[in-house]
Structure 1
Amino acid sequence: MEFVVDKVSEDSFYENLLIGLPKVLEKLPSVSDLYLERFSPVQHNNICAWEQKHGVLLPEDLRSFYASTNGLLYTYNFHYRDSGSEEDKVVGRIEVNGLNELAPVYGYEIKPDPGVNMEDDHYELKLGTDSKIFELVNLNDLGRVILVYINHRYLPSIWLHNASMKFNFLADDFTTYLRMCVHHLGIPFWQFSFSGEGIPEWSEMVFRLLAPAILPLHKKIDEIKKHDDEFSDILINKIDSNIFRTTRLTPNTMPPNEPNLTPRQIKKKQLKPKFPPKLQKKPLHHSKKN
């Protein structure tokens, strides 16, 4: 049975989307002013128009997300002293750009051999002439969270693009990234715990006050998955994708005999991604009709 947003209350939808995070934050000391901005769903034809304009197909989970809500903004205030001063306030934030703000990002270096390689203990992303990246979240002057298409034949993945123009891998898909946002309580700049430079010291202080069990911050999501019992109190629940409005299935752009490669699978196979022969894709209006 398909789960459609119209059949349940908005409160239930956002509670499931945030995996119960508001109830957890309400119990934490010095947390106040919890705020959720509600957005209307994006119409199917507008999603198709965006895809046609940019020449890519959104992954199914992100397409379903926009068909349920045009972005996400959940914030709260945390005062790490009892003074109540604005100088002692930190704003927690879970945010996803609306569809119109999912804008292309330019200015990255073009490589002749695009793909994802393992270098030492981190992933190295190389983009080619057919690559496209889009901004999911703006992190002020420190960088942005981006949706990366190595080329149109491969499903996109989520990366951190910092101010020094370096790419740091975050998640294989949007659902995993959203789950990571909740796991890290939306503490500002948590994404940089997956980069070589690390998070700012004041962000680390907030982690130690609000959620010390999350530290050490260098743990990757795969390592956390292996110890669900150990982290059972830190919102490591899975997001049920059925809470999204059901829309048409996104055509799989990979050939039938080729799996959807992700950076983690590439590491496991110790292979560079090999591009399959160019596919004859059906136009978007054909998919919509079917």
Structure 2
Amino acid sequence: MEERALRIAKPYLDRLTMGVTRVLETSPGITEVVFVEKEPAERHAIVSWEQKNACVLPEDLKNFYLMTDGFHMTWSVKFDDNPMPLGNMTINSISKLSRLGISAAYTLPSAPTLADLEDTDEEEGNQDQPEKPHLDSRSLIFELDPCGGNGKVCLVYKNTKPVVTPDSEIWFLDRALYWHFLTKTFTAYYRLLITHLGLPQWQYAFTSYGISPQAKQWFNMYKPITLNTEELSEEAESFVNKLDPNKVFKSKNKTPVLKKKLPTQPPPSQKGQTGPAPKNAAPSGSSSRRREA
């Protein structure tokens, strides 16, 4: 049986990255912009995940997985004429959207879990902030992005009872196990991920103590996209929430190459395809007329 693979069509690939590849390609010192192309998640895999975890995925995140089973894009900078990895944009696949707080933090007998290590002190004077998640049975927490070891971006359900409309939020759990609110929806978080270019520790910009001095130097060199954020918001929301998977993907007979360097060269014209003649091409019959002359 011939294997059938799906690849994201070029116009939708540009919209998926919200044009950030063009920004990176035109920035000085940036090299090796790589987008890892992924096939869409199967619907039964999403249903299986929801049944296993007794919760319903938000509609925008579900549509995202139906378009691409996760997201991974990286870029490097030239350092002493050698590429050094710097930017990293990641969203875990549906199979790696695993729950936090239920496994032991260490591999020792009677080792504590993350819930045991969680800070339980309530911050004073923070009435305007949303209620923080809990790593015990009071919340359902799933890892969206491992953040390169600098923390975890999580999909959080505070209401663990089955509901028709899931009430979820996106939070950042830092390495000290303190919670920081990011966004109400996945679409809003996806926009933040793209506009911050995957810079190291960018999530700490939304904490009270901010990013480290070293990360701040990279921010000064490659500033996050701050222009036309409203347009980016509308484009991301429209693209993710009004997805037609039949138009996003095109069938291929060959298994797709997973890693794809950008920019790509335009595909060569197919045989039999008509188009404008090259500028230097001689008109038909010109050589025979010259011989007759």
When the two structures are superposed, what TM-score results if normalisation uses the length of structure 1? 0.67
Q: Write the deviation string for residues 161-185 of structure 1: whole angstroms up to 9, x where unpaired.
A: 1111111001111110010111111
Structure 1 stretches of at least 4 aligned residues deviating more than 6 Å after TM superposition = none
Determine the structure 2 residue equivalent to 1:149: 157
CA change 1:61–1:234 in 2 (3 A) is closer
Q: Comparing 9-18 with 163-172, which one deviates more in the overlay?
A: 9-18
Corresponding residue number in structure 2 for 1:279 = none
Shift in Å at residue 212 of structure 1? 7.2
Structure 1 residue corresponding to 2:211, chosen from 184, 199, 214: 199
Change (3 A) 1:134 1:164: same
Mapped pair 1:70 → 2:66: no
Task: Give the aligned CA root-mean-square deviation in angstroms.
Answer: 3.2
User: Is 1:95 matched with 2:67?
Assistant: no
Native 8 Å contact 1:124 1:167 kept in 2 = no
Residue 92 (structure 2) pairs with residue 84 (structure 1): no
Gap runs ≥5 in structure 1: 1-5, 215-230, 248-290
Alignment-derived partner of residue 232 in structure 1: 228
Task: Give the unaligned 5+ runs of structure 2.
Answer: 1-5, 102-113, 247-293
- The aligned amino acid for 1:102 is L
1:56-115, Cα deviation, whole Å (9 max, x unpaired): 100000011111111000111123x5x2246xx34201110000100000023699xxxx
Q: Distance in 1 between matches of 2:229 and 2:157?
A: 34
CA distance in 2, matches of 1:43, 1:74: 22
Task: Give, in whole Å, the separation in 2 of the partners of 1:9 and 1:126.
Answer: 36
Tell me the residue number matched to 1:278. none
Which structure's CA Rg is the greater one?
Answer: 2
Work out the CA distance in 2 between the residues paired with 1:212 and 1:44: 34
> Residues 117-170 of structure 1, C-alpha deviation per residue, up to 9 Å, x if partnerless?
971675440436341000000023321000000014441110001111111001
In structure 2, C-alpha distance between the alignment counterparts of 1:182 and 1:134, rounded to whole Å: 20
Alignment of 1:200-215 (within 5 A): 200-211=212-223
The number of aligned residues is 219
Give the secondary structure class of the aligned counterpart of 1:95: strand
Provide the secondary structure at the position in 1 that maps to 2:40.
Answer: coil
Alpha carbons of structure 1 residues 73 and 141: separation in structure 2 relative to 1, 3 Å? closer
TM-score w.r.t. length of structure 2? 0.66
Contact 2:196 2:225 in 1 (8 A): no
CA gap of 1:209–1:59, structure 2 versus 1, over 3 A, is: same
- Cα pair distance change 1:29/1:98, threshold 3 Å: same
C-alpha distance 201-134 of structure 1, shift in aligned 2 (>3 A): same
